[in-house]
Amino acid sequence: MDQLDWIKGAVIYQIFPDRFARSVKEKTDGVFENWDSPETPCGFKGGNLKGAEEKLDYLLELGVTAVYFNPVFASAANHRYHTFDYYSVDPVLGGNAAFKSFLKAAHKRGIKVILDGVFNHASRGFFQFNHLLENGKASPYRHWFHPRGYPLKAYNLGKDEKPNYACWWNLPALPKFNTKNPEVRSFILGVAEFWLKQGIDGWRLDVPDEINDDAFWREFRRVCKAANPGCYLTGEIWGEAGRWLKGDQFDAVMNYQLSAACISRFGGEKLKLTHSYAGRRLEPCGQKKFMADITALLGQYKSGTTLAQMNMMSSHDTDRMLDTYGGDKARMKLAIVFSFLFPGAISLYYGEELGLKGVLNAGTRRGMPWDRKSTWDTGLLKLYKSLAALRRNNPVIKRGKFEFLKEYCDERILVFRRFLPGGGQLVCAMNTSGAPAELTLRPGVLGRSPRVLFNDGATLSPAGALPGLKLRPRGCAIFN
């Protein structure tokens, strides 16, 4: 059996720990911001792992099969990409005991757990860097980092002054590891192995392309797969990633190429981004270009890799979907449907199922509105539940091929299918335009006795039969 069979067709739920849920059963130490107050760069809302554990049944009902946590290790930042201690879960989150409890409760429900591995850089509070900061070139850890002079200038830099050591994006709080140092390599590999042996199911690797060393990642894979042969290794790489996906480094990457294509097509003239997409400015595109982009994307990697990709429409590093699609929920829904039917796992950023708003650094990481259910978009929530249910244990979704049925596609209509060569298929027809559309399907396209699995504004004519299909503006239907 394929050790990674569990990730194919998976529904992953991305949790930003400080903003997802604060336990209602256990007292939380510390003074925190009001949960519903606006997001701030340094503020803590007090979300914790016991709170996340208390929401596992909500996730199960949503159809989630895996959880991806943004960093959970000890840190002085609300996002926790400034790691102090890789072996200690942040005490604000409840510490190692709370994580162990979450892991056990998740696994009991059949939900896998993926952690964020931040191995390109640490923090000023990381012991070895702090030692170097205090002792300068006398520190035995001076080769763990990239100092360019002493004393290190880690605080109170002038307006145009840069730190005198290598750090991520010249941010002094994020000193970059020297991964060519055998001691550093051994440390990182030990961390990766330790948490896999504690029971986690995979690593999402933060900016792994900035550790520009294939040998390091090959060794990382060997260590991880020895600890857990079924562990999932996915990297945050926004563009083409063939270098890392040859079978000797990562299993997959976060598929920002897919989200970019969907934004350009389904967002269209409503497309609105506050930040560039990995340095690219996304522009509206027509159906022909979208189909060409998707076809090219499907041809980039081996089919097994494509089926393991971490597809996502938004994340903690992007604007939320509702803002990206200009507030147009009909356009947004088309992107959701397409992504849920696309080969690979689908990763859902917390709160998107409720229609949360927010742009990067101004709402993207807001608190989940558990106590304000009147603000939930129940229609979106129902959509996500329906699509997740359609995916669950579906062999066509897990292993099926993808193709556009080009004879029916034009600038208004998009028809595609997932299928298994030995039999079994799902066919989706979409109207991507703002006006009603009709199409006639030749006999047999949907099989002998097709069923409607999902219907959002489609009418079969004559009733219950084919070949006539009417689609409302931005409507769609899924058949098998």
Please write the tens of the pLDDT for every residue from 246-262.
999 999 999 999 999 99
Residue where the block lists tokens 């051994």: 186
Predicted local confidence at residue 436, as pLDDT: 96
Per the DSSP assignment, residues forming a β-bridge with 404 are 416
Q: 322, 355 in Cβ contact below 8 A?
A: yes
Per the DSSP assignment, residues forming a β-bridge with 428 are 416, 478
CATH architecture of the region 5-120+177-399: Alpha-Beta Barrel (3.20)
Q: Using 50, 70 and 90 to split pLDDT, how confident is the model at 314?
A: very high
Parallel, antiparallel, or unpaired for β 468-479 and 452-461? antiparallel
The one-letter amino acid at 249:
Q
The C-alpha atoms of residue 312 and residue 317 are separated, in whole angstroms, by 12
Residue 41 has pLDDT above 90, yes or no: yes
Counting Cβ atoms within 10 Å, is residue 181 exposed (0-12), middle (13-18) or buried (19+)?
Answer: middle
Q: Using 50, 70 and 90 to split pLDDT, how confident is the model at 462?
A: low
Percent of the chain topping pLDDT 90: 91
| Rg, the chain, Cα only | 23
Q: For domain 401-479, is the CATH number 2.60.40.1180?
A: yes
Q: Which own/partner contact pairs does 191-194 have at CB distance under 8 Å and 24+ positions apart?
A: 191/86, 191/87, 191/117, 191/119, 192/117, 192/119, 192/220, 192/223, 192/224, 192/227, 193/223, 193/224, 193/226, 193/227, 194/87
Residue 449 has pLDDT above 90, yes or no: no
User: How many angstroms separate the Cα of 156 from the Cα of each of 18, 78, 79, 135, 173?
Assistant: 27, 21, 22, 18, 11
DSSP 203-239: EEESSGGGS--HHHHHHHHHHHHHH-TT-EEEE---S
Domain ranges within the chain, ordered by starting residue: 5-120+177-399, 127-170, 401-479
User: How many angstroms separate the Cα of 430 from the Cα of each of 6, 89, 111, 293, 345?
Assistant: 29, 45, 32, 18, 21
Q: How many helices (H) and strands (E) does the chain have?
A: 14, 16
392 backbone φψ class: left, alpha, beta (φ>0; ψ -120 to 50): beta
Secondary structure class of 262 (helix, strand, coil): helix
Q: 471, 438 in Cβ contact below 8 A?
A: yes
User: How many angstroms separate the Cα of 253 from the Cα of each of 216, 237, 245, 307, 392?
Assistant: 17, 6, 8, 11, 22
Residue 377 has pLDDT above 80, yes or no: yes
> Average pLDDT, stretch 309-335?
98
> Average pLDDT, stretch 377-395?
97
> Average pLDDT, stretch 90-94?
96
Of 24 and 385, more confident? 385
Residue 465 has pLDDT above 90, yes or no: no
Predicted local confidence at residue 406, as pLDDT: 96
**Which DSSP letter does residue 452 get?**
E
Q: 458, 476 in Cβ contact below 8 A?
A: yes
> Average pLDDT, stretch 170-186?
98
Residue 1 has pLDDT above 70, yes or no: no
Q: 401, 53 in Cβ contact below 8 A?
A: no
Predicted local confidence at residue 353, as pLDDT: 98
Residue 236 annotated among the catalytic residues of the structure: yes
The C-alpha atoms of residue 228 and residue 199 are separated, in whole angstroms, by 9
The CATH number of the domain covering residues in 127-170: 3.90.400.10
Report the sign of the C-alpha dihedral through residues 259, 265, 266, 267, in that order: positive
pLDDT digits (tens, 9 = 90+) for 110-137: 999 999 999 999 999 999 999 999 999 9
Residue 461 has pLDDT above 80, yes or no: no
Q: Using 50, 70 and 90 to split pLDDT, how confident is the model at 460?
A: confident
Q: 66, 10 in Cβ contact below 8 A?
A: yes
Single out the catalytic residue among 54, 236, 352, 353: 236
Residue 206 annotated among the catalytic residues of the structure: yes
> Average pLDDT, stretch 151-171?
95
User: How many angstroms separate the Cα of 70 from the Cα of each of 15, 181, 295?
Assistant: 6, 27, 31
Q: 263, 256 in Cβ contact below 8 A?
A: no
DSSP 97-159: HHHHHHHHHHHHTT-EEEEEE--SB--TTSHHHHHHHHHGGGSTTGGGS-B-SSS---SS--T
Q: 41, 361 in Cβ contact below 8 A?
A: yes
Residue of 48, 44, 45 whose CA lies nearest to 25: 48
Asked whether this chain's domains 5-120+177-399 and 401-479 adopt the same fold, the reply is no
Residue 467 has pLDDT above 80, yes or no: no
Predicted local confidence at residue 30, as pLDDT: 86
Average pLDDT, the chain: 96
Single out the catalytic residue among 206, 319, 353, 456: 206
Our measurement of the distance from residue 447's CA atom to the centroid of its chain's CA atoms, rounded to an integer in Å, reads 34
Q: Using 50, 70 and 90 to split pLDDT, how confident is the model at 472?
A: very high
User: What residue spans of 320-399 are helical by DSSP H?
Assistant: 321-324, 329-341, 378-391, 395-399
The C-alpha atoms of residue 31 and residue 234 are separated, in whole angstroms, by 35
Q: Using 50, 70 and 90 to split pLDDT, how confident is the model at 27?
A: confident
Per the DSSP assignment, residues forming a β-bridge with 427 are 417, 479
Name the maximum alpha-carbon separation found in the chain: 83
Report the sign of the C-alpha dihedral through residues 421, 348, 385, 233, in that order: positive
